[in-house]
Amino acid sequence: MSTEALTPDRILEATEEVLRRYGPGKATVVDVARALGVSHGSVYRHFRTKAALREAVTERWLEQAVTELAPLAEGPGPAAERLTTWLSALFAAKRRKAGGDPELFATYEVLIGESSAVVAEHVDHLVGQLARIIEDGHRQGEFAAPETGFTMIARAVFDATDRFHDPVHAAEWSAPDIDDAFAAVLALVLRGLRA
C-alpha cells in the first residue's frame, strides 16, 4: 500500500479493527501498521504516540453520536419535541452501540476510562447541542428563563438523563421497564424546563 493513501481516518478505522480483534490490553501500533500493510513509522507520522492514537480513536467513536445528533438540535420545530427527539436518539444510539457489538463497546469503555479530557470535550459538545435547543425554547416562549444560563441548565438535563446515555449504565438498558423509566424522567425534565 502506498503511504499517500494513508489518511488519519484509514489509520483510525484499522485501529478500531485491531482493538476489536486483540482487545484494549494487547493492541499495539505495530498491529495497526501490519493491518494497513505499512511500517509503524508511517503510523507514527500521523499519531506521534500510542496514547495519541488511542485518544484519537476514542474521540472518533464518541463524536459519531455528536455528528448524528447535530441536525436534531438545529430545528426548526417546538423545543420540547426537539429535546425529546434528541434525548431519545442519544439513548437509541448508545443502546445500539452497547447491544450491537458488546465487545467493542467494552473495549471503548476501557479507552474512555483512560481519556478523561476527550470525554469531557465530547460531553461539552453534547451539552452545547442541548443548550441550543433550550435557548431556542426560551426564545419561542416555550421554556422558562434559566436562572443560571443555558449551558448550566443543559448540563443539568444531561446529568438528569445520565442513566440513559452514560455507558456505566449499559447493563440496565435491556431491563424490561427501561423505556417507561426513560419516559418518566423525560416528562419530569420537560416540566422542569417549561415556562
Cell of residue 176, nine digits? 424490561
Query: Which one of residues 9, 114, 162, 179 is an interface residue with a copy of itself (CB under 8 A)?
Result: 162
* Number of chain residues interacting with a copy of itself (CB under 8 A): 27
Query: Which one of residues 82, 94, 132, 155 is an interface residue with a copy of itself (CB under 8 A)?
Result: 155
Task: Report if residue 127 touches a copy of itself, rule: CB under 8 A.
Answer: no
Q: Which of 185, 188, 75, 88 is nearest to 133 (CA)?
A: 75
Cell of residue 105, nine digits? 463497546
**Of 32 and 155, which has the nearer Cβ to a copy of itself?**
155
Task: Report if residue 153 touches a copy of itself, rule: CB under 8 A.
Answer: yes
Task: Report if residue 78 touches a copy of itself, rule: CB under 8 A.
Answer: no
Total length of the chain: 195
Cell of residue 103, nine digits? 465487545
Task: Report if residue 188 touches a copy of itself, rule: CB under 8 A.
Answer: yes
From the list 13-21, 52-60, 94-102, 140-148, the region that binds a copy of itself by CB under 8 A is 140-148
**Of 5 and 145, which has the nearer Cβ to a copy of itself?**
145
Task: Report if residue 52 touches a copy of itself, rule: CB under 8 A.
Answer: no
DSSP 52-121: HHHHHHHHHHHHHHHHHHHHHHH-SS-HHHHHHHHHHHHHHHHHHHHHH-HHHHHHHHHHHHH-HHHHHH
Query: Which one of residues 152, 173, 174, 176 is an interface residue with a copy of itself (CB under 8 A)?
Result: 152
For 33, residues 6+ apart whose C-beta sits below 8 A from its C-beta are 39, 40, 42, 43
Task: Tell me which residues touch a copy of itself (CB under 8 A).
Answer: 144, 147-148, 152-153, 155-157, 159-163, 166, 168-169, 180-181, 184-185, 187-193
